[in-house]
């Protein structure tokens, strides 16, 4: 009798993974079986005696590997959001094997020969638009993953990808280890001075998770930021700020810098094998930007006014600090504290007074409401279905007009030591109509790291938290509303600098009056947010934008510079970061949002390597796109929403992204919209 649930048929609601039966030791056997099946499927396609056709080669290849995708979907989601020692051990063992399997496929000569034969005569095949797009994407995938390499270069490419997979795991687990190890107990009233009730509630939950009777601060940004904003204890603010910035280099046995340096060297070698001058040139081949110069041009257009604005903001903060008797220069651990005081003075807007209006459950309803207004879908919570963690919640998503199921949406919103930091969307099953005998609709999950309130109290969100909630849900909608035939083209499988458009434009609907008046209900008084507060929120949108833009753009610029390093063999990560910050004249009190030793976007996988700029590239699109809704006089304009859904959310990668945007907007985007949106014009 087979007792491994991962290799059995899942007789579960919606075809969900049987979470309550899965153990870490099941993954090795499951991956071994799934990879063997995948190899058999691929070899059968490669040795098909009939001449290659789109159906017997490209469509068949897209259909292959369903068992592997199913097991991988569970594995990668659990290692990110609910890990443990046994699962981390399995991750260290399995990641090189998974990378080797993926290299085996990308370097499969028999398959590539058939794909290449079709590609060379693609205009003679009479293919439809989606089929042509799939053939071209699959061919490019093979080429960019080494299919044209020969002999020793081919073997070295495979070895590099396998070693990188192991290094990514080491880096991620080290940063998570640093985050889990930190704990600042707030033992006395003096330690808690200045902290509003919402922060104390979150600190009480952190303490309870660590078995402490009292209050504690961890390194979740959802708790670090408000602590830095309200704590009157400058010494404790400095302690928390330094710990947060030192992740990845604070503990010798978890020092990520040698790991990151090795990753950069291997990426440079890989790019050289592929015939590129550096890794940035290689990575940008399959991006909208195409060349590093285009990225640098956009970033520097924003960097210069943002840096000047940040310096002006610093002077304003030092002025208010001086009035309170503090004469020293504002440091990183002071910025949030004095910025909040200045915001209250300038806009009469107190984050602590705002938070009770942003209850997590009501803001979740708000994002569902906005999606329903725009795209005609409904969300129904389904309870008593086993999930990967008790805090996770599951919703059935339906088409409001037909009642048909669109997909399944899971939320996992709270920070915990077993979950990596940040916020992200993922999937347990992607949308596809090329999955034989399987369910076509997707299972999407959004992960956030909000500070959880104690039992019986509502979790309250900051304005930034609300934007993050809607941001990740934008990715979720991209996955849920996908309506394409092929796995490779579905959902968020688009160019990296296009994938942030659905998420970033969705943030705009979070703070619209229509949504706030209905869902921003005070947790204590039960009153709806006032028109006055909504107006103040709108007026304060550009506040602190110099700081926020510099903190992000410095990371994007340094990422691009790092992946164009002229001599990676000599790279010293700390010295490089310091030199780059000096070259760019990054204001010391602002710094980088993510320092290199903890920069998971760059070193947890290859996805955002030479690609952290994509948020700003997509912001040009989202700012310009939302201006279309505003100009129409109705931010929920049904015609525009239907067009956006058709060409952006539902189209996946069936269209070139520039063409898709033009189909929605009627023209190319205007970069000035980004500057207007950030108040930097």
Tokens of 672: 């000035």
> Which of 40, 34, 93 lies closest to 69 in space, CA to CA?
34
- Alpha-carbon distance values, 424 to 74, 167, 419, 476 (Å): 15, 21, 11, 9
* Residue 429 bridge partners (DSSP): 443
| Dihedral sign computed on CA atoms, order 127, 128, 129, 135 | negative
Separation between Cα atoms, residue 492 and residue 274, nearest integer Å: 26
The token pair that represents 560 in the structure block: 């691009």
Catalytic-role residue among 472, 577, 619, 627: 472
Q: What is the Cα–Cα distance from 626 to 201, expressed in whole angstroms?
A: 36
- State the CB neighbour count (10 A cutoff) for residue 40: 10
Angstrom distance (rounded) from CA 566 to CA 278:
8
Give the number of other Cβ atoms within 10 Å of residue 570's Cβ: 11
Q: What is the dihedral of CA 370, 373, 375, 376, to 10 degrees?
A: 120
SS3 letters for 618-653?
HHHHHHHHHHHHHHCCCCCCHHHHHHHHHHHHCCCC
Helices 85-106 and 26-46: crossing angle in degrees, nearest 10, is 10
Helices 500-507/614-631 angle, 10° precision: 50
Rounded-to-integer distance, Cα 329 and Cα 522, Å: 37
Short-list 367, 646, 356, 613, CA closest to 508: 367
Cβ-contact 463, 34 below 8 angstroms: no
Q: What is the DSSP string of 244-291?
A: HHTTTTSSGGG--HHHHHHHHHHHHHHHHHTT-SSHHHHHGGGSSS-S
The b/e string for 575-600 (b: 16+ C-beta within 10 A; e otherwise) is ebbeebbeebebbebbbbbbbbbbbb
Check if the beta carbon of residue 204 is closer than 8 Å to that of residue 457.
Answer: no
Neighbours of 145 (CB within 10 A): 19
Calculated CA dihedral for residues 184, 187, 189, 190, nearest 10 degrees:
-60
To the query of whether residue 532 is one of the catalytic residues in this protein, the response is no
User: Which 3 state secondary structure label does DSSP give 359?
Assistant: strand
Helix intervals (H) in 508-632: 513-519, 531-539, 545-562, 573-584, 600-603, 614-631
Euclidean distance between CA atoms 165 and 604, whole angstroms: 9
Listed in sequence order, the DSSP H helices in 121-233 are 129-144, 151-181, 197-209, 221-230
Q: What are phi and psi of 412, to 5 degrees?
A: -140, 95
Spatial CA neighbour of 608 closest among 256, 283, 270, 159: 283
Task: Give the 3-state secondary structure of residue 450.
Answer: strand
Q: Which of the residues are catalytic? A: 472
């Amino acid at each position: 009798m087979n007792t491994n649930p991962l290799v059995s048929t899942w007789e579960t609601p919606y075809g969900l993974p049987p979470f309550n039966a899965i153990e870490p030791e099941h993954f090795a056997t499951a991956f071994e079986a799934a990879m063997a099946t995948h190899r058999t499927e691929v070899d059968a396609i490669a040795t098909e005696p009939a001449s290659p056709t789109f159906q017997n080669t490209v469509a068949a290849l897209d259909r292959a590997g369903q068992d592997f995708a199913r097991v991988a979907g569970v594995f990668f989601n659990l290692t990110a959001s609910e890990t443990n020692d046994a699962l981390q051990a399995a991750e260290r063992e399995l990641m090189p094997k998974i990378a080797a399997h993926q290299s085996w496929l990308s370097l499969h000569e028999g398959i590539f020969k058939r794909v290449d034969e079709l590609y060379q005569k693609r205009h003679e095949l009479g293919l439809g638009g989606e089929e042509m797009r799939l053939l071209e994407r699959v061919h490019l995938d093979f080429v960019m993953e080494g299919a044209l390499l020969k002999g020793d270069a081919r073997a070295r490419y495979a070895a590099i990808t396998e070693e990188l997979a192991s290094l990514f795991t080491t880096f991620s687990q080290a940063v998570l280890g640093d985050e889990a190890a930190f704990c600042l107990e707030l033992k006395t009233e003096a330690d808690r001075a200045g902290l509003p009730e919402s922060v104390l509630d979150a600190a009480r939950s952190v303490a309870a998770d660590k078995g402490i009777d009292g209050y504690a601060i961890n390194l979740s940004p959802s708790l670090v930021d408000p602590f830095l904003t309200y704590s009157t204890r400058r010494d404790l603010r400095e302690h928390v700020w330094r710990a947060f910035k030192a992740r990845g280099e604070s503990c010798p046995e978890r020092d990520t810098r040698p790991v990151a340096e090795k990753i950069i060297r291997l990426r440079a070698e890989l790019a050289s094998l592929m015939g590129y001058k550096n890794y940035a040139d290689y990575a940008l081949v399959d991006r909208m930007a195409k060349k590093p110069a285009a990225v640098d041009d956009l970033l520097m257009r924003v960097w210069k006014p943002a840096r000047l604005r940040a310096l002006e903001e610093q002077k304003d903060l030092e002025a208010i600090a001086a009035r309170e008797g503090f004469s020293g220069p504002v440091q990183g651990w002071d910025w949030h504290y004095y910025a909040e005081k200045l915001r209250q003075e300038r806009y009469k807007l107190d984050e602590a007074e705002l938070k009770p209006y942003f209850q997590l459950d009501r803001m979740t309803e708000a994002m569902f409401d906005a999606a329903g207004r725009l795209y005609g879908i409904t969300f129904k919570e389904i309870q008593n279905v086993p999930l990967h963690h008790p805090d996770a919640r599951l919703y059935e998503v339906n088409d409001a007009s037909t009642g048909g199921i669109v997909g399944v949406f899971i939320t996992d919103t709270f920070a915990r030591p077993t979950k990596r930091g940040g916020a992200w969307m993922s999937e347990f099953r992607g949308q596809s109509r090329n999955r034989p005998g399987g369910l076509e609709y997707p299972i999407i999950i959004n992960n956030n790291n909000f500070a959880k309130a104690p039992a019986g109290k509502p979790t309250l969100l900051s304005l930034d938290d609300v934007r993050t909630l809607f941001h990740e849900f934008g990715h979720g909608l991209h996955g849920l509303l996908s309506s394409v035939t092929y796995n490779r083209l579905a959902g968020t499988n688009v160019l990296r600098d296009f994938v942030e458009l659905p998420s970033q434009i969705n943030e705009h609907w979070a703070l619209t009056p229509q949504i706030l008046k209905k869902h921003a209900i005070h947790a204590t008084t039960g009153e709806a947010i006032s028109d006055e507060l909504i107006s103040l929120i709108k007026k304060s949108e550009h506040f602190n934008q110099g700081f926020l833009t510099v903190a992000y753009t410095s990371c994007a610029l340094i990422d691009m510079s790092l992946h164009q390093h002229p001599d990676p063999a000599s790279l010293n990560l700390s010295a490089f970061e310091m030199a780059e910050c000096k070259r760019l004249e990054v204001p010391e009190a602002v710094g980088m949002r993510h320092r290199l030793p903890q920069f998971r976007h760059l070193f947890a996988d290859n996805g955002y390597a030479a690609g952290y700029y994509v948020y700003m590239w997509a912001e040009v699109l989202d700012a310009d796109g939302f201006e279309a809704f505003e100009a129409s006089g109705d931010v929920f304009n049904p015609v525009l929403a239907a067009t956006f859904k058709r060409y952006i959310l539902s189209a996946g990668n069936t269209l070139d992204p520039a063409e898709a945007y033009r189909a929605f907007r009627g023209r190319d985007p205007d970069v000035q919209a980004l500057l207007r949106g950030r108040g930097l014009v």
